Structure 1
């Protein structure tokens, strides 16, 4: 009886962990930003000259880079710090956007 109970507990935990792996994002990967929030953050990043980390596309093919964004007609232009990556994109292509910690912003002239 005890052996059956032990086997059932083991089986239950294995099934639970398998199901959890199917539905969870990898640890450390935040959920995709809502469209309205992405647009707002892009606008603020440009206006306030923020240094940002931007993540394009969606899992498992994520492209993450640091640099600056600015409007480019109806779309946006991202330029990486080392100027090796230039990308014209729409806000819907952005998976995540965040300001780089400790980066000083450029003060605007009055």
Structure 2
């Protein structure tokens, strides 16, 4: 009898993780509308000269790729790293970076 609830839980989990078969053009439009955000992985931001310039500007001219711990945080977003930055990345700073990143037109 315990198998049925566990099976139902497994099916529910599978449904949540299954890919959606919706119209991909809407997702593509959303992706191109905001090419970069504070939720974008830092390594992706650093790979594009335009978004890299935004980060360098807001980090006092420092190239984040030169940070000693870059390999440890590069796959995270600025938003994810902020709580661990010991106050270096503030909410105000994130808002300013977000505004500058939103101004970048998709390539």
Instruction: Looking at secondary structure, tell me which structure has more helix per residue.
Output: 2
User: Larger Rg: 1 or 2?
Assistant: 1
Instruction: Looking at secondary structure, tell me which structure has more strand per residue.
Output: 1
Calculate the TM-score normalised by the size of structure 1. Answer: 0.33
Calculate the TM-score normalised by the size of structure 2. Answer: 0.34
